Amino acid sequence: MNALSCFKAYDIRGKLGEELNDAIAYRIGRAFAAWLKKTSESDAALTVVVGGDVRLTSSALKLSLSNGLMDMGVNVIDLGMTGTEEIYFATFHLGVAGGIEVTASHNPIDYNGMKLVQAGAKPLDSQDFAALRQLAEANMFYGAMTKGRLTRGDLLDAYTSHLLTYIQPARIQPLKLVVNAGNGAAGHVIDALEQVFANLNMPVGFIKVHHEANGQFPHGIPNPLLPECRADTAKAVLDYQADMGIAWDGDFDRCFLFDENGEFIEGYYIVGLLAEAFLQRHPGASIVHDPRLTWNTLDVVTQAGGKAIQSKTGHAFIKETMRAEDAVYGGEMSAHHYFRDFAYCDSGMIPWLLVAELMSVKQQPLSQLVAERIAKYPCSGELNFTVSDVALCLERVQQHFSSTHEVDGNPLVDLTDGLSMTFADWRFNLRGSNTEPVLRLNVESRGNMERVTQKTEEVNALLS
């Protein structure tokens, strides 16, 4: 049995060549088909939707994956170049057995991967994912009596129509928006929405940056979470005097927002903004958040009469918690936003539509919508540290801040996801990445940016 290192905590991602290639993609297709048949309650032929991001290798990997599915008797609907959320949408909209997006999101150009969901766009839990991995590694399959069929599909109209159900188009006031599609993955959706807006007489103009699809990534790896990947969007906002800037990652399941001054807005504050908006529509509803940055979200949700529920970081965990609690909305500070009416899945398109509506209704620029919350709960932003021993580093940091020198006294320690330590006027979360060999740090305080800077430097010294 050959171990497949491309299987990560809850998706598939690996370096092209040895870790992920056409042969492995074919095995994954066969394994997913075998797993679906084992878990299916129906004897009818199963169907899986597939799509791929803009990467140069995605089409070939998707074809090998599809051949694996079809050789096991599963029908395949190929949606072409898509974002991950288009596969989520297609899976629940069409009522098919599963969906697979070929993508490595924000990873380097020499990587690729897959995101898989079962019926209803529900993620595979850890046990299911382990079973899938075992099937792929064993590579012991029997061909189907009847090979599955391959058809081409296009759900762009249905998908964009669904996106518009989250806002009231008549509320939208004149807006000029910079949209940075990274290297074009999100471009086709923006073009489709632009036409829909025109048909509805919505007064929204788009300034398109890095809009054309180009799998060679001429504008760098599409990951606006990194400060070095934000300059082009910020500059365009200022140059064109836009109302807001929007940038996406490689499979556009995350969107990143810039205010009218070209300032990047941490995803943490967008979570609070959207939580408040949903609680106005759904009084008393549950809101799910991750443990990395929490105080602003807890404050907003409590004030709005909602129920804040903490979940471990990561889409599989957030979605599981949202389903269990029937939460209307879930948000991670990493710019993943989840919606009950989107089958509890994350979307990079719904958030900016909601924010555009909020700006229109409140007649306030984005900077003003978040200014009070940023001042009340300043944060460090997520900082990454490459370390040789994650467990040892976490132990060292915990011992340091548990010692008597800490003037705040005994901290509250939470090990839900990595290490969270809470003091009177500041807190931090330090956790290992699910997909990369790094530690990620987030620090926040109660109205004291100097405290954030001081404590960030203190943790940095411990990890250096």
**Can you read off the two tokens belonging to residue 3?**
């171990």
Q: Which residues pair with 444 in a beta bridge?
A: 379, 427
Nearest by Cα to 463 from 394, 406, 401: 394
Catalytic (active site) residue 66: no
CA–CA gap between residue 372 and residue 308 (Å, rounded): 20
- Of 64, 66, 105, 380, the catalytic one is 105
Nearest to 19 by CA among 28, 7, 27, 11: 7
Q: Residue-wise over 153-184: b if at least 16 C-beta within 10 A, else e?
A: bebbeebbebbeebbeeeebeebbbbbbbbbb
Closest CA to 248 of 228, 224, 230: 224
- In 3D space, the residue among 42, 123, 48 whose CA is nearest the CA of residue 79 turns out to be 48
Q: Phi-psi category of 333—alpha, beta or left, where left has phi over 0 and alpha has psi -120 to 50?
A: alpha
Q: How far apart are CA 313 and CA 357, in angstroms?
A: 28
Strand, coil or helix: 413: strand
Quick count: other Cβ atoms within 10 Å of Cβ 324?
A: 12
Dig out the tokens for 365 from the structure.
């620029």
**Longest distance between any two alpha carbons in the chain, whole Å:** 71
| Radius of gyration, CA atoms only, the chain | 22
**CA neighbor of 353 nearest in space, from 227, 196, 210, 222:** 196
d(CA 311, CA 425): 23
The amino acid at 371: A
- Three-state SS annotation for 416-443: CCCEEEECCCEEEEEEECCCCCCEEEEE
Distance CA 61, CA 113 (A): 9
Joined together, the tokens standing for residue 410 give 């005994």
Cite the active site residues: 105
